[in-house]
Amino acid sequence: MSSDFRRACVSGGAGFIGSHLVRALLARGLEVVVLDDLSVGRAENVPAGARLVRGDVLDADAARDAASGCDVVFHLAARVAIRSSFEFAVKDARVNFVGTASMLRAAHAAGGVRRFVGTSSMAVYADAPSPDPIPETHPTAPISPYGISKLGAEQLVHTLGGQAGFSTAVLRLFNTYGTGQALSPYVGVVTIFANALLRGEAPSIFGDGEQRRDFVHVEDVVRAFLGALDAPVAGETFNVGTGVATSVNEVFAAVRAALGSTIEARPAPAVTGEVRYSIADIGKARRLLGYRPMRRFADSIGEVVAEIRAADQPS
């Protein structure tokens, strides 16, 4: 277990996944410091008991302040969007790649950090030929600037982290969904679909909608992070998903049914930079992290849509 670790730094801890992780770490009895510039995350997402350092990962002083006294760093801060990464390639590279280098250097300068867990994405992979689970050995040939920046960041974690004496782990997250996900035009298809239907609008489905993804609940993603905290691993990279393929059309049908809507989706051209098939082989995470996803998409989509509906109601 993680009793050996006392204090954690979570960059991006005011965001969707980060805030769930912070709550889990606090429940474990760890002290937690959050580093977040609040450009996407919200201060109210940071649970009571965690300290918030408002700052950018590129700010060496803020990053070092957040990492000071910590023995483990979870680095989640990033720009997360495939479609917009073509337009914002420079900003993505700066935050995702240079920001990771900055956080690693800050962790080393702070002293005391022994483990560094980085966050990556299924976007680092080449497209798969079929909707079958792909292992970590699948070719890493990203087709978007976002995927390129995340692949480079992975390599930085293992190279600079190893040089600094950290035990490192990188988690390649597949399509994460769950309660507390903010609306974005680029990320979180469940949230995008639900909000459009609640507004009485027809959401867009890009391409034929038969592209298949691995939708993993944020609670299961947190289980993987805790596994990376507990397991004696170093220099390892892991897929985090469910191994189950779900089409975009199936996601839309589930969201529409949960809302009782009859609105049809609008077809739109396929998006450059998005792969057709992306499903995780989670065998390695099962073996080395003890990772066991517990939340099935079909069983949990109702509660996610219910939260979005409740937030849409006037107060």
CATH number reported for the structural domain that contains residue 84 in this entry: 3.40.50.720
Residues 199 and 225 in one domain: no
Q: Which residues of 146-177 are buried (b: 16+ CB within 10 A; e: fewer)?
A: bbbbbbbbbebbbebbeebebbbbbbbbbbbb
- Residue 256 maps to a domain: yes
- Residue 10 maps to a domain: yes
Tokens of 210: 């038969």
Give the model's pLDDT for residue 184: 57
CA-CA distance, 14 to 23, in Å (whole number)? 11
Residues 78 and 171 in one domain: yes
Residues 128 and 199 in one domain: no
Question: Using an 8 Å Cβ cutoff, are 31 and 2 in contact?
Answer: no
- Residue 38 maps to a domain: yes
Give the model's pLDDT for residue 296: 87
Residues 193 and 160 in one domain: no
Give the model's pLDDT for residue 312: 59
- Residue 24 maps to a domain: yes
Residues 93 and 207 in one domain: no
CATH of the domain at 304: 3.90.25.10
Question: Using an 8 Å Cβ cutoff, are 279 and 127 in contact?
Answer: no
Q: Point out the catalytic residue in the list 125, 146, 277, 291.
A: 146
- Residue 182 maps to a domain: no
First vs last C-alpha separation in the chain: 43
Give the model's pLDDT for residue 228: 97
Give the model's pLDDT for residue 315: 46
Residues 152 and 255 in one domain: no
Among candidate residues 138, 120, 118, the one with its CA nearest the CA of residue 130 = 138
Residues 272 and 170 in one domain: no
- Residue 290 maps to a domain: yes
CA-CA distance, 267 to 99, in Å (whole number)? 37
Residue 142 Cα to chain centre, angstroms: 17
- Residue 183 maps to a domain: no
Give the model's pLDDT for residue 308: 79
Residues 128 and 234 in one domain: yes
Q: Which residues of 116-129 are buried (b: 16+ CB within 10 A; e: fewer)?
A: bbbbbbbbbbeebe
Give the model's pLDDT for residue 82: 66
Question: Using an 8 Å Cβ cutoff, are 296 and 179 in contact?
Answer: no
Give the model's pLDDT for residue 102: 97
Count of domains for the chain? 2
Q: Identify whether 146 is a catalytic site residue.
A: yes
Question: Using an 8 Å Cβ cutoff, are 154 and 237 in contact?
Answer: yes
Give the model's pLDDT for residue 2: 47
Tokens of 125: 């992979």
Residues 26 and 145 in one domain: yes
Report the SS3 class of residue 118. Answer: strand
Residues in the chain predicted with pLDDT less than 70, given as ranges, are 1-3, 82-85, 182-187, 312-315
Residues 109 and 152 in one domain: yes
Q: Which residues of 10-37 are buried (b: 16+ CB within 10 A; e: fewer)?
A: bbbbbbbbbbbbbbbbbebebbbbbbbb
Residues 117 and 252 in one domain: no
Residues 141 and 32 in one domain: yes
Please, what sign has the CA dihedral across residues 82, 87, 93, 94? Answer: negative
- Residue-range definition of the domain harbouring residue 262: 189-211+245-279+298-312
